[in-house]
Structure 1
Amino acid sequence: MTLFLQSIREASVDGRMQNVLYRQDQFEKLHRILVQHGEHIQKTMVKDGTHTDTEAKIEYFFALRSLKEYYETLDSDKALHQEYAISRGEDSPAQAEPIGIVYVAITEHTVFYSTIAAICAALAAGNCVVIQVRVDNHYIYRRLKMPTESELFGEVSTLIRQLLADKSLDRDVIAVVVDRPSKADLGPNHIRVFQNPLKTQESLDFNHEITSPSGCVIAIVDRTADLDSAAQALVAARFSFGGTSPYAPDIILVNEFVKRPFLAAVTNAMVSFLEDRRFDSRIPERTKPQDDSLDLVAALGQAELFEVTFREFNVIQNRNSSRRLLVHGVRSLDDAIDLANGNRKLIASYIFADLVSAKYLTQFITTHVSFVNQIPLELLIGPAAPQQIGFDRSLRYPISLFSQRCPAFVTSMPFNDLLQHTMQGQGAEISHALMEISKALKPSKPRPNGGGVGFFEQGILIGLALFGIPILVSVGFLGTKGAQYVSRLL
């Protein structure tokens, strides 16, 4: 066992963070530090180069809100009541214990929120936490002189390291490192969280890793959508917070019938949204796409709007550049579904359509999460939600992710006595139970005689109306003429 992170391992073994009151104390101190330095934190985000003043304020707000939400999960009375459940003769099925140490490799996107959310999730579950800040490769490869700490790690990461070094916080509970620690450094009881998607060859142990999913984000704009609202939401999602959010849309599939007015709406939205906005100066200058399948529709600074002109252009297979918005025409909802599912790696989809069409799209598109006629602002802040669990709208990292269930039971199962009697040779009761359980199954509520009118049923009814009505009119007309002819003969 190495000496590196020895104090963290010892605090984990001691179970220091398992005491709910101690956890609450650490949360209160961390909150006090972040509030005290709030203005400096926001200015540092702007100085890092990817945030406007408003975006810095928003990210700071969501970080504090995340801290508060995790803090509110700590209930000392409930924890004490659960601890003594067995002594009262009660089961404790929800009993859990912390894993020990949570190691988190922080993403480059919205570093402040990503770091605070991960720390709070780990602490709320009763763990010690090790944070690895990322080195800014721009300064390593482009600067000849020895970089300063803020140049090497970024302004925000440097500030976080300074804040977490506050003497009021337990230095044996939270550690900030630069290099990835080994298994020996973290000890036997740990879990690793990678906020950026991992390449397969980088993976160490899938049983002890939490990873953000890799893949694309698709938006679908149907002819029934409010085009202006959709354009504004998609432009904001693509270009907010430096355009680096994992939930920024990579490509928009729009119905051909409304593609021209939608492109105009997107252009107007870009003008109003990006007029006073700046991007990270480290993003390279705009260059003409190498593939002729992209037509430039509009450009504002380093932000570009492209139309995909050839269907065979494989744009849905790759993550998009942070400064491009791609639009691809589709012929129908089914066409959009086929294109979307051809990717097989969608981490999110945004559906802009009436509710009937939206239901159809969300039902048949394979994706980690779907949003209908909205793109939540908080979604654009922080890393992508872990792929190992279902998407949680409230907490980016559910506390259960960093704890392990260890339920305890004192009561017996309902059929335990019956089985015990049967094993002892008393078979009368099991015979009666078998008769009861062999009865035909029936639903608890009677089934309805028929289903509602769904998407396909609507199509059938429309088809009948289009083709059936002319036939009925023709038959009626012929019937009238035939009656007149017979009456003349008579």
Structure 2
Amino acid sequence: MRMDPIQRLQESVIDGRTENVRYRQNQLQSLHAALCSNADLICNSIAEDTQVESSNTEVETEYYLSTNAVKHFYEGLGFERSINEEYLVATGVDNPQRKVGYGLVIIRPTTHTRLYSIVCPLAAALAAGNIVVIELPDTLLKVDAILKDILPAALDPDTFIISAKFIEDPSILSSSLLVDQTSVSTTIIANSLSSQNKHRAIAIVDRTADIDCAAKAIVAARFKFQGASPYSPDLVIVNEFVKDEFFATCSKYASQMFVSGGKAKRSRNNAEAETRKSFEDAVTRGQLSTFGFADCILADVTDSTCPVTEIKVHGCYLPIVTSTSMVDSVIKEMKSSLLAAYIFAQPPEAKFLAQHLKAHLTVINQIPVNLLVGPAAPSGTAMEYKYRYSSEMFSISRPQYISALPTELSVVDEHLIPGWNANRTTKAKQLRSLATQKLPGTGQAQGLEHSGAGDRVGTVGVGKES
């Protein structure tokens, strides 16, 4: 009888087949070689899916970042280092950083920049020593068809498969790590790395900002990759003193982009249509005015209660709202949970703005293009700024200790462990004496305590403010 593919993978988890670092290195070598030898096929499929030329820089960018991710995780593995760490306890040394692979990892990729969204978490999971399933149901995407041929041929069938259906069996999911890039839920499941796709990204342009730098970065981030990246800014809050200059500079760069690069392509789902309707309704209500060419829309929001200031934007639409000061900018978004905040300002002003925003990621005076490629980073874990995923995300901590605890902790052993001390009453009094010792002083002169209130929003006399 033929064994169920998932059962075969589960047996590989039990066997510990992926624990050997040489095995992981070989898998990543094979993955990288397969991507490189099929470069033309892969890039052509991405171009066909996104309806652009195969030589398009966005296509080449996604392909480069995908192979670079494999390289990154491969270079993070070291055979000699792994052997040394494995035998630390045998030599009498603690191994507090020891980690092992989670076991079975299921990747449910987003459609945005599909290649990178698949390859990056795959490489991270392999590097951490996991067995991997990628869910690729039948679609019209050409890149899926290519990967269904390339990946199974490159990777060990006992530790990797592609599933043509979504895995919904609770017994499998409960013992697996689910990488869900399609999630729209705000609930974080314990054994999942879920992208929070409804959280917005915003940009704040202060009066101290380099306007040309800000406009160039924001326009590229909003309009590149068909405006489909979860990290494209959904709203720009610009100081009223520089609004006209900023709007004019954005118009300049947007026109240059579409004159040289052609029309923006419509996304295939309904999200872009919903965004377009929201903007059209706002125009009808007189809440904003728009300027556009090709499929690129710049919107001057004149009513701060306009619904487009609170939606997740899909497509090439850039709403711009005015603020009167740094405090006003913060107040507009201080209650929001943000996927990202891009702040364009001088460092002191940027520090003030950043500390009051609840953003998973804050970036100052730049929007790196690599952020636009791939899914939203998983919530509930530290943000991996460069690659979105890390091998640590796919690992479980399994520390090993052989050294004795420091005296301040081991002192209690002689009170509770039989045979260590006969005179327990006297020792117990000594323990009370240790417990009630005063903490050392802060080293701060009396009367100079700082509560941080001077940095809080609404405090009078914040200092230089825009």
- TM bucket by the smaller chain? 0.7 to 0.9
Of 331, 334, 341, which residue of structure 2 is paired with 1:338? 331
- Distance in 1, matches of 2:328 and 2:351, equals 16
**Match of 2:161, as an amino acid?**
A
Equivalent residue, structure 1, for 2:82? 79
C-alpha deviation, 1:26, in angstroms: 0.6
2:339 is matched with 347
**Would you say the 8 A contact 1:297–1:305 is kept in 2?**
yes
Tell me whether 1:199 sits opposite 2:185 in the alignment: yes
The structural deviation recorded for 1:411 is: 2.1
- Structure with greater helix share of residues: 1
- Whichever residue aligns with residue 320 of structure 1, its letter is V
Change (3 A) 1:408 1:331: same
- Are the counterparts in 2 of residues 50 and 279 from structure 1 also a CA contact under 8 Å? no
Find the counterpart in structure 1 of residue 422 from structure 2: 425
User: What letter corresponds to residue 90 of structure 2 in structure 1?
Assistant: S
State the 1:123 CA deviation: 0.7
Deviation at 1:391, TM superposition (A): 1.1
* Deviation at residue 80 of structure 1 after TM alignment: 1.7
TM-score scaled to structure 2, two decimals?
0.86
Question: Is 1:169 the equivalent of 2:155?
Answer: yes
Q: 1:125 to 1:309 in 2, by over 3 A?
A: same
In the aligned structure 2, how far is the partner of 1:304 from the partner of 1:462? Answer: 34
What secondary structure sits across from 1:371 in the alignment? strand
Q: Is 1:368 aligned to 2:360, yes or no?
A: yes
Structure 1 residue 6: deviation in Å?
A: 2.6
Q: Which position in structure 1 is the counterpart of 2:265? A: 280
**Partner-residue secondary structure (3-state), 1:90:** coil
Of 208, 212, 215, which aligns to 2:195?
212
Shift of 1:251: 0.7
| Counterpart in the other structure of 1:138 | none
Q: Per the alignment, in what secondary structure is the counterpart of residue 421 of structure 1? A: helix
Tell me which moved more, 83-92 or 206-215: 83-92
The alpha-carbon deviation at position 381 of structure 1 amounts to: 0.7
1:399 aligns with 2:391: yes
Q: Deviations over 1:395-427 (max 9, x none)?
A: 311222212112222222123653233343345
| 2:228–2:267 contact (8 Å) kept in structure 1 | no
Which digits, 9 at most, give the CA deviation of each residue in 1:288-344, with x for residues without a partner?
7022244343212111111111122133321013121100111111111111124x2
Report the CA distance between 1:392 and its aligned residue.
1.7
Whether 1:102 aligns to 2:95 is no
In the other structure, the counterpart of 1:47 is 48
> In the TM superposition, what is the alpha-carbon distance from 1:433 to its structure 2 partner?
6.1
2:439 aligned to which of 418, 432, 441:
441
213, 222, 235: which one pairs with 1:251? 235
Give the letter aligned to residue 236 of structure 2: I
Amino acid at match of 1:399: S
Unpaired runs of at least 5, structure 1:
136-151, 464-490
2:67 matched to 1:64?
A: yes
Q: Secondary structure at the match of 2:193?
A: strand
Q: How far apart are residue 217 of structure 1 and its match?
A: 0.9
Alignment partner, residue 263 of structure 1: 247
Does the CA-based 8 Å contact 2:360-2:383 persist in structure 1?
Answer: yes
Q: Which moved more, 1:103-112 or 1:61-70?
A: 61-70
Q: Retained in 2: the 8 A contact 1:5–1:185?
A: no
- Is the 8 Å Cα contact of residues 63 and 112 (structure 1) preserved in structure 2? yes
2:232 matched to 1:240? no
CA distance in 2, matches of 1:76, 1:365: 42
Provide the secondary structure at the position in 1 that maps to 2:18: helix
User: Which residue of structure 2 lines up, in the alignment, with residue 483 of structure 1?
Assistant: none
Give the CA RMSD over aligned residues.
2.9
Counterparts of 1:447 and 1:129, CA distance in 2:
58
8 Å CA contact 1:4, 1:185 repeated in 2: no
State the partner residue of 2:142.
Answer: 155
Q: Which residue of 1 aligns with 2:164?
A: 178
Match of 2:294 in 1: 301
- 1:234 CA displacement: 0.4
How many residues matched?
442
- Describe the shift of the 1:297–1:188 C-alpha distance in structure 2 as closer, same or farther (beyond 3 A): closer
Q: Which amino acid aligns with 1:71?
A: Y
**C-alpha distance 447-181 of structure 1, shift in aligned 2 (>3 A):** farther
SS in 1 for 2:404: coil
CA distance in 2 between counterparts of 1:49 and 1:187 reads 32
Equivalent of residue 324 in structure 1, options 313, 317, 334: 317
Mean CA deviation greater in 124-133 or 43-52: 43-52
CA–CA distance in 2 between the matches of 1:134 and 1:370? 35
Give SS of 1:275's match.
helix
- The amino acid of 1:289's aligned partner reads E
**Amino acid across the alignment from 1:125:** A
TM-aligned CA deviation for residue 460 of structure 1: 7.0
How many angstroms apart in 1 are the aligned matches of 2:463 and 2:146? 64
Amino acid across the alignment from 2:361: V
Give CA-to-partner distance per residue, 1:128-153, whole Å, 9 cap, x none: 11111265xxxxxxxxxxxxxxxx33
Contact 2:167–2:173 (CA under 8 A) maintained in structure 1 = no
Give unpaired runs (5+ residues) of structure 2. none
Provide the rounded CA distance (Å) in 1 between the counterparts of 2:463 and 2:15: 69
Alignment TM-score, normalising by the size of structure 1? 0.82
Partner of residue 375, structure 2? 383
Cα separation, partners in 2 of 1:125 and 1:443, compared to 1, 3 Å: farther
Q: CA deviation at 1:172?
A: 2.1
Kindly indicate whether the alpha-carbon contact (under 8 Å) linking 1:125 and 1:399 is maintained by their aligned counterparts in 2.
Answer: yes
Structure 2 residue matching 1:206: 3-state secondary structure: coil
Residues 161-191 of structure 1 deviation map (CA, whole Å, 9 limit, x = unaligned)? 111132x421222211231113367376311
Offset of 1:438 from its aligned partner?
Answer: 3.8
| Alpha-carbon distance, 1:461 to partner | 7.3
- Identity of aligned pairs, percent? 29
> What residue in structure 2 maps to residue 142 of structure 1?
none
SS at match of 2:314: coil
**Secondary structure of residue in 2 paired with 1:69:** helix
Instruction: Assess if the C-alpha contact under 8 Å between 1:221 and 1:230 holds in 2.
Output: yes
For the residue of structure 2 that corresponds to 1:5, the secondary structure is: helix
The code of the aligned residue for 1:315 comes to V
SS of match in other structure, 1:175: strand
